[in-house]
Amino acid sequence: MNGIQRSAPLALLLLAVGCGGSGQAVPVKSPAAPPTTAALLHATFTMHWGAAQPQATRRAPKYIAATTRSIAIFVNGGSAQITNAPPVGQPQTTNIVIDAPVGTDTFTIAAYDATNGVGTILSHAVFSQQIAAGAANTLSASLNGVVKSASVSLTNATPPAGTAATSAVNVTAVDPDGNVIVGSTDYDHPVLLTNSDASGATSLSTTTVANASTAVALSYNGKALTSATVDPGNGTGATFAPIPTITEYMVPGAVANDLVGIAAGPDGNVWFTEAGSNAIGRITTAGVVSTFPIPTAGSNPVSITGAPDGALWFTQPGTGQVGRMTTQGVVTEFSFPNGQNTQGAIVATSQAVEFLERPSAANTLMGVVAYNNGGIGEWALGNSAYNGPAALGPDGNVWYIDGQLRRLVANGPIDAFAVPPVCTSPRALAAGPDGNLWYICSASNYVVRQTTAGVATAFHVPGLNVGLAGIAAGPDGALWFTEGMGAIGRITTSGTITEYPVPTTFWPYAITAGPDGNIWFTEYNSPKIGKLVY
């Protein structure tokens, strides 16, 4: 046996993997090389089959998948030179002798899961090498595993919401026979990861996994995020879902039944009404509380909203007024000819604030204050059952509920739509991110989605008499609501409900999406403001 080194080992780095197809990812023959008239030399490869190689004795990753039953070697596109694996129970080291001509040769190697070079290809390699006569030619190859599918797991899938965190992303690829592919040799094609999070709260260090040694990390910046799924494409993904946390902040000087309305302010803070203390409160997103008194005693502020004029506006049912407060705490109060019971929700439109007032049982008005000149007005709405909630609708009109869902079109008619029979005592109204109106039914445990054409769908909240109180659209594309019995609820626009218990277990009341992307709420029976981070 002259020529090439007689026992030159062929180090087969067979990563048993498999993503992407039937496993026939390599041609039976390599591309043909130019014809040669050089004499053929003999080369001996030492092959260590995977079946009888204990994991601890392998010089990882220089082994092949345990289900490999034959090896086919093609030289310069010639006929396959095939060697079958020894039967189980016999020595699993085989010397493979092949013929190769002097010169630059192209070698193609394929590992099959059946004998005689047939079946499914589990791994393969193509490489070129110069073969010289009379020299010790050592040939080596690293086989690329054929990826059939992949799965993803996360080391830190449920960190506390609101706190930056990192999770290692573990990608496990398997070949068509289900063997796990290990080692640093590349797969036959990379596993491409996708991240379902479009908010930017999470990011992947790389989306291309070339081999089992590729390190991937998912970074979470602590911003609002319900969940994110890392998907390998063909296989099983993993979900990253921070656990929502609720923090409560005591309001100095406030008493029980004091904190009522809440709204995001134009200054990046959250503002709230202190009805019993005759004041407006401000809380920074870090939890620092300040209080600003209202000049007129006994004003009993209730509803509050941030407005396009850069101020906070609120109702004062104790004095039949509406107040305006700058973000520095300067208050202006507006009185109305028929001003009584101005506790209805206050709504900020592009030109003015509007609010419901009810001077008598047979008369409901919509009060208006213009931003540009402070001009006031009152529109007669007619008889109504009671003062209900109001909100700026997704269509730009003001909507309110007084036993029916009503749309107030400026200089136009008032349209009325029946609420579902199961809905009793609607108490809060919000425009949803889906272009619909959403409201809660406090006496019957329902959250209702109603289109601007009046088509209503009611979703039942689990439990009996949970005391639904407030509702607001969140930045996550869902609606959030308060349960007086001690929970914050989240409902998707398709009706899936999730509930989060509040540490102080009684009367979460008004609710809003904060400027920080979190959910903020008042606690009616305790002088606290709550923040839910998700």
pLDDT tens by residue, 262-289: 999 999 999 999 999 999 999 999 999 9
Q: Where are the beta strands (DSSP E) in 251-375?
A: 259-264, 270-274, 279-283, 289-293, 304-306, 312-316, 321-325, 331-335, 346-348, 352-360, 363-370
Domains identified in the chain and CATH numbers? 40-145 (2.60.40), 149-240 (2.60.40), 245-533 (2.130.10.10)
pLDDT tens by residue, 168-181: 999 999 999 999 99
Q: Which amino acid, one-letter code, is at 391?
A: A
Using DSSP bridges, classify how beta strands 103-112 and 70-75 pair: parallel, antiparallel or unpaired.
antiparallel
What percentage of the chain exceeds 70 in pLDDT?
87
Q: Shortest CA distance to 70 belongs to which of 119, 133, 21, 34?
A: 119
> What is the rounded CA–CA span in Å between residue 206 and residue 485?
45
> Residues near 488 by Cβ (< 8 Å), separated by ≥ 6?
246, 480, 481, 482, 499, 500, 502, 508, 511, 519, 521, 530, 532
Q: Shortest CA distance to 143 belongs to which of 178, 107, 186?
A: 186
Question: Looking at residue 64, what is its pLDDT?
Answer: 79
pLDDT of 1 > 70? The answer is: no
Element (H, E) at 470: strand 468-473
pLDDT of 183 > 70? The answer is: yes
Question: Looking at residue 220, what is its pLDDT?
Answer: 98
> What is the rounded CA–CA span in Å between residue 376 and residue 267?
25
How large is the average pLDDT for residues 245-270? 94
Question: Looking at residue 38, what is its pLDDT?
Answer: 53
Please provide the average confidence, as pLDDT, over all residues in the chain: 86
What is the pLDDT confidence band of residue 42, given thresholds at 50, 70 and 90? Answer: confident
Tell me which residue has tokens 């990390």.
Answer: 217
Question: What is the 8-class DSSP label of residue 115?
Answer: G
Q: Which amino acid, one-letter code, is at 359?
A: P
pLDDT of 343 > 70? The answer is: no
What is the pLDDT confidence band of residue 97, given thresholds at 50, 70 and 90? Answer: confident
pLDDT of 342 > 70? The answer is: no
End-to-end CA distance of the chain: 72
Specify whether the CB–CB gap between 119 and 112 falls below 8 A: yes
Question: Looking at residue 142, what is its pLDDT?
Answer: 80
> What is the rounded CA–CA span in Å between residue 401 and residue 390?
7
User: Beta-carbon neighbour count of residue 193 at 10 Å?
Assistant: 21
Lowest-confidence pick of 19-23, 67-71, 107-111, 293-297: 19-23
Specify whether the CB–CB gap between 216 and 206 falls below 8 A: yes
Question: Looking at residue 2, what is its pLDDT?
Answer: 26
Lowest-confidence pick of 52-66, 217-231, 401-415, 476-490: 52-66
Query: Would you report the helix, strand and coil content of the chain in percent, each value rounded to 5?
Result: 0, 45, 55
Question: What is the 8-class DSSP label of residue 267?
Answer: T
10 Å CB burial of residue 88 (0-12, 13-18, 19+) is exposed
How large is the average pLDDT for residues 403-416? 85
> What is the rounded CA–CA span in Å between residue 73 and residue 110?
7
pTM, whole model, 2 decimals?
Answer: 0.74
Q: Shortest CA distance to 519 belongs to which of 508, 504, 509, 534?
A: 534
Specify whether the CB–CB gap between 152 and 238 falls below 8 A: yes
pLDDT tens by residue, 184-206: 889 999 999 999 999 899 999 99
* 331-335 β-sheet, strand order: 304-306, 312-316, 321-325, 331-335
